[in-house]
Amino acid sequence: MAGAYCRAVQKVGGIPVLLPAITRLERPLASFCQGLLLSGGGDFDPGFFGEVPHPALGTVDYERDCWEITLITKARREGLPILGICRGMQAINIALGGSLYQDLPSQYPVSGKGLVEHHQSAPGDQVTHRVKITVNSLLHQVVESTEIWTNSHHHQAVKETAPGLKVTARSEDGVIEGIEGKNDHFLLGVQWHPERLSTPDSHRLFAAFVRACRGKMDSA
Query: CB within 8 A of 128, min separation 6: which ones?
Result: 117, 120, 122, 149, 150, 151, 152
Quick one: which of 55, 76, 74 has its CA closest to 188?
76
CB of 71 to Mn ion, least distance (A): 24
Residue list 49-78, contact with Mn ion (CB under 5 A): none
Question: Between residues 118 and 204, which has the closer beta carbon with respect to Mn ion?
Answer: 118
- Among the listed ranges 15-23, 24-32, 36-44, 148-156, the one in contact with Mn ion (CB under 5 A) is 148-156
CB of 130 to Mn ion, least distance (A): 10
User: Could you confirm whether 86 is annotated as catalytic?
Assistant: yes
Cβ(140)–Cβ(133) below 8 Å:
yes
Asked if 155 is part of the footprint of Mn ion (rule: CB under 5 A), the reply reads no
Exposure class string for 148-187: b at 16+ Cβ within 10 A, else e:
bebbbbbbbbbbebbebbebbbbbebbbbbbbbbeeebbb
Size of the site for Mn ion (CB under 5 A): 2
User: What distance in Å separates the CA atoms of residue 127 and residue 52, rounded to the nearest whole number?
Assistant: 33
Of 6, 86, 155, 213, the catalytic one is: 86
User: What distance in Å separates the CA atoms of residue 65 and residue 205, rounded to the nearest whole number?
Assistant: 24
CB of 171 to Mn ion, least distance (A): 5
- Among the listed ranges 12-20, 39-47, 151-159, 206-214, the one in contact with Mn ion (CB under 5 A) is 151-159
User: Could you confirm whether 154 is annotated as catalytic?
Assistant: no
User: Measured between alpha carbons, how far is residue 8 from residues 4, 108, 202 in Å?
Assistant: 6, 32, 9
Asked if 90 is part of the footprint of Mn ion (rule: CB under 5 A), the reply reads no
Asked if 152 is part of the footprint of Mn ion (rule: CB under 5 A), the reply reads yes
CB of 217 to Mn ion, least distance (A): 33
Q: Rule CB under 5 A: choose which of 87, 118, 193, 196 binds Mn ion.
A: 118
Question: Between residues 102 and 152, which has the closer beta carbon with respect to Mn ion?
Answer: 152
Strand partners, 20: none
Binding residues vs Mn ion (CB under 5 A) = 118, 152
